[in-house]
Amino acid sequence: MSKDLVVILTALNLEYQAVRRKLAGPQVHHHERGTRFEVGTVQGTSCRVALGLTNKGNHSAAVIAERAIQEFSPAAVLFVGVAGALWDTARLGDVVMATHVYAYHGGTSEDDGLKARPRGWEAPHGISQLAAHLARVNDWADDAPGHGRAPQVRFGAIAAGEVVQNSKISAEAQWIRQHYNDALAIEMEAAGVAQAGHLSGAPVAIIRGISDRADGTKNSAKDRNWQPRAAANAAAFATRLAVELLGEQEQIAMSRAEKAQSADRPAERVSNTVHNSTVGIMAGSVKDSNVHLNTAPLAAGPTGLVAELNGFREHLKHHHVEGALDDDTYREALADLESARRTASENTLDSSRRTTMTLKRLRGLVADCPVLVAELAHLITAGR
Per-residue model confidence as pLDDT tens digits over 148-193: 678 999 999 999 988 888 777 788 888 888 888 889 999 999 999 9
**CA 253-257-263 angle, 5° bins:** 150
* Residue bearing the bigger pLDDT, 336 or 132: 132
The band of 311, judged by pLDDT with boundaries at 50, 70 and 90, is confident
Query: Does the predicted model carry a pTM greater than 0.75?
Result: no
| Residue 242 clears pLDDT 70, i.e. is over it | yes
Residue 292: band (very low, low, confident or very high) from pLDDT cuts 50, 70, 90: very low
Mean pLDDT over the full length of the chain: 83
Q: Round to whole Å and give the CA distance between 38 and 51.
A: 5
Query: Per mean pLDDT, which range of 86-100, 239-253, 301-315 is the poorest?
Result: 301-315
3-state DSSP assignment of residue 166: coil
- What is the C-alpha separation between 139 and 160, in angstroms, rounded? 29
Would you call 234 helix, strand, or coil by DSSP? helix
Q: Which of 133, 94, 101 is nearest to 247 (CA)?
A: 133
Task: List, in sequence order, every residue forming a beta bridge with 28; answer none if it has no partner.
Answer: 38
Q: CB neighbours of 272 closer than 8 A, spacing ≥ 6?
A: 278, 279, 281, 286, 289
pLDDT at 104: 87
CA distances, 134 to each of 44, 139, 236, 244, 292 (Å) = 18, 8, 12, 9, 44
pLDDT value at 224 more than 80: no
Q: What is the mean pLDDT of residues 60-71?
A: 96
Best CA proximity match to 330, nearest among 306, 356, 362: 362
pLDDT at residue 384 greater than cutoff 50: yes
pLDDT score at 190 = 96
> CA nearest 198: which of 126, 131, 120, 128?
120
- pLDDT of residue 293 exceeding 60: no
Per cent of the chain over pLDDT 70 is: 84
DSSP state of 150: P
| pLDDT for residue 43 | 94
Confidence of residue 144 (pLDDT cuts 50, 70, 90): low
- End-to-end, the C-alpha distance of the chain in Å comes to 25
